[in-house]
Amino acid sequence: MFSLSGMNALVTGASGGIGSAIAIALAKQGARVALSGSNGQKLRGFREQLIEEHGGDHVEITCNLSDTTQVEELIPATLDTMGGIDILVNNAGITRDNLAMRMKDDEWDDVIRINLEATFRLMRASARPMMKARFGRIINITSVVGATGNPGQMNYIAAKAGVTGMTKSFAQEVASRGITANCVAPGFIRTAMTAALDEKQTDTINAKIPAGKMGEGDDIGAAVAYLGSREAGYVTGQTIHVNGGMAMLS
């Protein structure tokens, strides 16, 4: 793997299944990680576990991404606490699934606000300190369904597809300043949510995956660690699909 020694990383949704795997992957490669999420108690417990198991001087910063004021304060708080930001991982997201004809306005608004708007605000806020340092790595976690579509998730897919396009635009704007912006698009990953599926549901999903199984959080963490590294400096505006071959997208 690639060394992230001396680098400061902010991970949103850090106490969730994929978020915690990303934070662990970054910490194992030497990064100091600011763990962000809306549940302060859960964040605190995960930070203590991260330090105990992997060392380092990691911090937690509580932030509710549905609150615009808190979103705008997150990057300044990270700079105050960490002294700088080298890697931003926009991982946090929500779902409010419903068929389009039944989707309520708040189901649309909540998903767009957290999954798309908050990602934009954090990218924008991180640009100035990264441009000043002439180095930065922005990694946005999207989803395979953002490229393929999925019934009942028009709001989620609009947000994830929007993040992909937004990342490409941002990558072009900041590339000359040593900043890269990329996406990692997970397929089905083994988390607490997928663990709730029964055997028949799991078998149906696995049958659609050439690898024959769901991925692990570590698979996403490894992709993020690579994109966050100094060695990935010539990779920008790209999406790495981590889905076991379920959707082979160029």
Distance of alpha carbon 216 from alpha carbon 176, whole angstroms: 34
Q: Which of 46, 108, 135, 156 is catalytic?
A: 156
In a 3-state reduction of DSSP, which class is residue 11? strand
Q: How far is CA 184 from CA 90, 91, 202, in A?
A: 10, 10, 23
- Residues 6+ away with beta carbon under 8 Å from 203: none
Residues in binding site: 91, 156-160, 189
Annotated catalytic residue 156 = yes
**Helix or strand run (H / E) with residue 110:** helix 105-111
User: Beta-strand (E) ranges in the chain?
Assistant: 8-12, 32-37, 59-62, 87-90, 136-141, 179-186, 239-242
Binding residues for NADP(+): 91, 156-160, 189
Could you list the active site residues?
Answer: 156
